[in-house]
Structures are given as structure tokens and as C-alpha cells.
Amino acid sequence: MNTPETTTTTAQQGVDRSQLIDLALRVLTVAALLFIFLVGVKTLGGSFKLLGGGFAKGLLNVTANPILGLFSGMLATVLFQSSSVTTSIIVGLVASSSLSLSGAIPMIMGANLGTSVTNSLVSLGYLKNQKHFRDAFAAATVHDLFNILTVAVMLPVELATGILEKSASALATMLYGTGSAMSYSSPLKAAIKPVASGIKALVTETAGLKGVFAGGVMVIISAALIIFALSFIVKIMKKVVESNKGEIIENLLSKNGYVAVGFGALLTISVQSSSITTSLLVPMAGAGVLGLNTILPVTIGANIGTTATALLAALAGNVSGLAIALVHFLFNISGMLLWYVNPTLRQVPIKLCEKLADRTLKNRFHGIAYIGLVFFAIPLSLTFVL
């Protein structure tokens, strides 16, 4: 005879088993999507080689001007709504020698700027709620202003000294090996290569396309694979994160700033999107649960965590692809050193966010104008002028 306790235990075991099966399916799905992502990055490198010298020349004309490179990276990220997609494509370009390392650096910085538009758009949902709008908008612009301040310092420093390029190149060579080691093929590469080669054969042999047309079709296919894989990884992991909001809040409030940086990084690596991490903070700030002093380190961690995607993409490339992925990582570490380590400088992005939020609270149009100018009007106008 089943007692209530026995029935409860059996039901609990059923729930635990169901949760384990669900977790296993999620892990297997994400692993499959990561493989598709890497195939897309590998295919992308081959597609640019088929496009020929004309494409390379046009790309070099864009990246010859660092400001134009910065805003092209920013616009691409605003359009894709994902810095992960932009940086993965840049890694593929650099790995295939279609884009120089120095020319790609401003584009990487621009990708960091573009990804922060998502938070600002989320905060506009509070426009009609005067009580919570200021806090939500201030929280959203932490990501914007932190990235803007970091680019304002690091882009001139990089152009003058090349410190990011030199540091990343040295580190990539140390981790990956010298140029002679580029032919090393890991088991992962060995698994990816036949699939990427199969896609190329499908386009060039089965479909009979040649030259620029073949390259263009392969660009579309590889971009579709990258976007598809990352989009579904984000959706799968977002459900996991949203179901544990209470734990997220508790972890953020109970730890110190540097633990919050690590928490933001790990959360972003898990969901493969800094926009999700930082966007989750906006409603928490609007509800008065989190303050800017807590949001800033989590945002910095999210910036660092999002570099994992480019580092992952570099697995399908070579030492040059790894170098530009490391530039992304070192750029965000530099931002933390500039605007968080020193308690006085830490207040600079926070104070700017508060002032901007105060102005927007007085006139809601200022908030809309800020988003329109910073993320659309200025990049587009400067792109055409330059």
C-alpha cells in the first residue's frame, strides 16, 4: 500500500528524472549548435577567398579609416542585434586574410558599442512610468557609456601605440604557436573541415557556381549558419536564466564588486549574449532592486564574457583569428582597468548615466533622441561623409 510519503517520493523522483532529461537534451542541443556555429565560421573564411581581390580591396578601403571601421562594426552589430555575430564574422575575415588585424581592431571596438543599444531600447518600455523610468534608463545606459568611454580612451591609444595588436599577437603566438604551427589540426578542426568542404563543394561543384557568385552564396550560407546557431543558443539559455531570476538577484546583492564582474562574465558565457545579461538588469533597476554601483561591475563582466564567442570562433581559424579574438578580450579588460579598479574613476560612467537619466526624465524626447543619434544618425552620417 502506498503511503503519502511514498507517493511524494515517487513524484519527486519523476520530476528529478524529467529535469535531468531536459538538461541533457539542452546540453546536446547546445553542443550541436556550437558545431554548426564553428562550421559557419570556417565556411565564411573560404567564401571570402572566392570573392577575390575586388572584395578585399573594398574591405581594405573601409578599414583604412579607423573611424569608418569603428562605425561599420557598430552598425553591423546594431543591425544583427548581436556583437557575437559581428565579432565571429570579423574573426573569420581575419583568419582568411581578407582583413588585416590592425584594420579589424576598430571594428571590434564598434561591435562593443553597438551591442549596448538593446538595453536602451528595453528601458523605453518604462517611458510611461515616471516612477521607475529614471532608474531603468540610467541602468540601461551604463553599458552604453562604459563602452563609449573605453573606446574614447583606447582607440587613440591603439592608433598611437598599437598596444592591443602587439599584445594580442604575442599572446596568440604563445598560445597557438608560431606560423609553422598553423597547419596543426585539432580533432575539432578535423571534424569541422569535411562539413565546410562539403558546403563549398555543394556550391561550386553541384550548383556549378564560380568566382564571386560562389563566394557570395557561401557568405550567405555561412552567415545564416552563424546567426541560426547563436540565436538558438541564446533562446535555449535565456529560458534557463529567466527561470532563476531570484537566484541571480541574490547572487548579485550578496557578493562584492569583483565577484559581480565574474558573475556577469559567467552568465554571459552561458547565454552567449551580453545583451541578455545587461537587459535583465534593466527591469531589476526599474523596480529598485539593483543600484548602479551593482549594475556597473555586472555590465563589465558581461563585456568580458561576450568575448568568449570570438575566442570560440577562433578555434575554427588560425593564429591571426585567435589574435583578433584576444584583442576583443584585452580591450574589455582594459575597460575594467580604466573605469572600475580606481574607485574615483568608477564614478565617472555612473555619474554620466545619472545626469543623462535626469535630463531624460524631464523630457522623454531626450532619451529617444539619444538612442537615435548615438546608434543610428551619427554612425550613418559619418560613414557616408568618410
One digit per residue, pLDDT tens: the chain, 386 residues?
555 555 555 545 555 677 777 777 877 887 788 788 778 877 876 676 676 545 554 554 566 788 888 988 888 887 766 777 788 888 888 887 878 899 899 999 998 888 887 777 777 777 777 777 888 888 889 988 999 999 999 999 999 999 999 999 999 988 876 443 334 445 666 787 788 888 888 888 888 888 778 888 887 888 788 778 867 776 776 665 555 555 555 555 556 888 889 988 988 887 777 877 887 788 778 777 788 888 999 999 999 998 988 888 887 778 888 999 999 999 999 999 999 999 999 999 999 999 998 888 888 888 888 888 888 888 777 766 66
CA 134 to chain centre: 26
Contact by Cβ (8 Å): 105, 165: yes
> What is the distance between the alpha carbons of residues 62 and 164, in angstroms, rounded to a whole number?
20
CA distance 240 to 273: 13
Look up cell 606560423; give the residue: 179
The CA-CA-CA angle for residues 267, 270, 275, to 5°, reads 65
Alpha helices in 202-210 (DSSP H): none
Write a three-state SS string for 94-134. HHCCCCCHHHHHHHHHHHHHHCCHHHHHHHHHHCCCHHHHH
Question: Which of 290, 292, 302, 234 shows the shortest CA–CA distance to 265?
Answer: 302
| Residue 167, number of CB atoms within 10 A of its CB | 15
Total-model pTM: 0.75
Cα–Cα distances in angstroms (integers) from residue 41 to residues 36, 48, 90, 135, 321, in the given order: 9, 11, 10, 39, 11
**Which pLDDT score is estimated for 271?**
73
Residue 1 in grid coordinates: 500500500
Specify the DSSP class assigned to residue 162: -
Amino acid found at 280 = L
pLDDT number for residue 181:
38
Measured distance CA(226)–CA(217) in Å, rounded: 14
Q: Are 150 and 112 within 8 A, CB to CB?
A: yes
Nearest to 140 by CA among 160, 161, 126: 126
The pair phi, psi for residue 288, each rounded to 5°, is 80, 15
185: region left, alpha or beta (phi > 0 left; psi from -120 to 50 alpha): beta
The pLDDT of residue 164 is 96
Residues 6+ apart with CB under 8 A from 22: none
177: region left, alpha or beta (phi > 0 left; psi from -120 to 50 alpha) = left
Best CA proximity match to 375, nearest among 190, 162, 148, 99: 148
Distances in whole angstroms, Cα of residue 141 to Cα of each of 115, 273, 378: 12, 17, 17
HSE value, Cβ hemisphere, 13 Å, CA-based, for 304? 21
Counting beta carbons within 10 angstroms of the beta carbon of residue 258, is it exposed (0 to 12), middle (13 to 18) or buried (19 or more)? middle
